[in-house]
Amino acid sequence: MTFPSLPQPERPLVVIVPRRRLWLRLLLLALAAAVLVGAAATAGLARYGGSYAARPFAATSSLAADPEAKVISPAAAERIEARLAAQRPRGVYVTVDTYRNQLRVFRGEELLREAICSTGTGRVLHDPRTGRTWVFDTPLGEHPIIDKRRNPVWAKPDWAFIEDGYEPPPRGSPDRFDDISLGGYGLYMPDGYIIHGTLFKTLLGKRVTHGCVRLGDDDLEFVYKTVPLGARVFLY
């Protein structure tokens, strides 16, 4: 018995493309795709967004003018400037920049002296025995010079002893008085804050004090001789 022969499946046609031609075809396909995308984008911009061709334009503010804004006349502007000028400090005054630790002495708008100083640490001291707390900040704001002294003597407050771990001595005790630490001059502000000298000149320019303003010897002498009683000190 003879079986009919089954048709053999056709063998797939394999086309071998040389590698150089393959890369060439891929490159041509990529270029064609880029052309199509560019054409589509151009058509979309032309229809919806307009052309992106460079052309001159004027810069405008996004804030509309306030229709209720009033125009100040030259005479009114002069009156405002006069009021501001009246608020400027007159005579000699002092500014203390507690962020940069810089002290400046002015006479009107003229800068007479600029000096490196030290100001308060901002540290908090707590006495566990009594519950009292001290914050060693330099007070900000405007403060007058209420006293000036040569060779000032420091009457140590309680915190000066508590900070070192000692029991404060009685009021009036000789142990409370220090005639060295404040230097040769002292300019006193309210609440016990003083512009004075220092034994630790390498620490000038740093926040290391208990709230007072420390200066080097030459700068302190200049400030003492230049700044009168009643002069204003602006600390910020």
Is 109 inside a domain boundary? yes
Is 118 inside a domain boundary? yes
Q: Show the beta-strand stretches assigned E in the chain.
A: 92-97, 102-107, 110-120, 124-126, 133-135, 141-144, 147-150, 154-155, 177-178, 185-188, 194-196, 207-209, 213-215, 232-235
7 has a pLDDT exceeding 50: no
Is 22 inside a domain boundary? no
Higher-pLDDT residue of 41, 108 = 108
Is 188 inside a domain boundary? yes
**Residue that is written with structure tokens 């142990």 in the block:** 175
Token pair in block for residue 236: 């910020």
Cα 3 to Cα 9, 10, 24, 205: the distances in Å are: 18, 21, 51, 111
Show the DSSP H helices in the chain as ranges.
19-44, 74-87, 158-162, 217-226
Higher-pLDDT residue of 61, 201 = 201
Token pair in block for residue 182: 């404040």
Q: Is 120 left (phi over 0), alpha (psi -120 to 50) or beta?
A: beta
Higher-pLDDT residue of 174, 85 = 174
192 has a pLDDT exceeding 90: yes
Tens-digit pLDDT profile for residues 66-115 = 455 456 788 877 787 777 677 778 899 999 999 999 999 999 999 999 99
pTM beyond cutoff 0.75: no
Token pair in block for residue 29: 């396909």
Please tell me the total count of domains within the chain: 1
Query: Phi/psi of residue 21, each to 5°?
Result: -65, -35
Q: Would you say 207 and 118 are in contact if contact means Cβ atoms under 8 Å apart?
A: yes
Mean pLDDT of all residues in 15-24? 47
Closest CA to 234 of 213, 206, 204, 210: 213
Closest CA to 143 of 86, 101, 96: 96
Mean pLDDT of all residues in 128-154? 97
Question: Domain containing 125: what range?
Answer: 89-235
Is 155 inside a domain boundary? yes
Closest CA to 156 of 140, 141, 134: 134
Is 148 inside a domain boundary? yes
CATH number at residue 144: 2.40.440.10
pLDDT at res. 70 = 58
Distance of CA 189 to the CA centre of its chain: 27
Token pair in block for residue 116: 């490196």
Is 72 inside a domain boundary? no
Report how far residue 230's alpha carbon sits from residue 156's, in angstroms, rounded to the nearest whole number: 25
pLDDT at res. 82 = 78
CB count within 10 Å of CB 43 equals 10
Is 185 inside a domain boundary? yes
Cα 57 to Cα 46, 53, 54, 60: the distances in Å are: 19, 12, 9, 9
Rounded to the nearest integer, the mean pLDDT of the chain is 81
Mean pLDDT of all residues in 47-57? 45
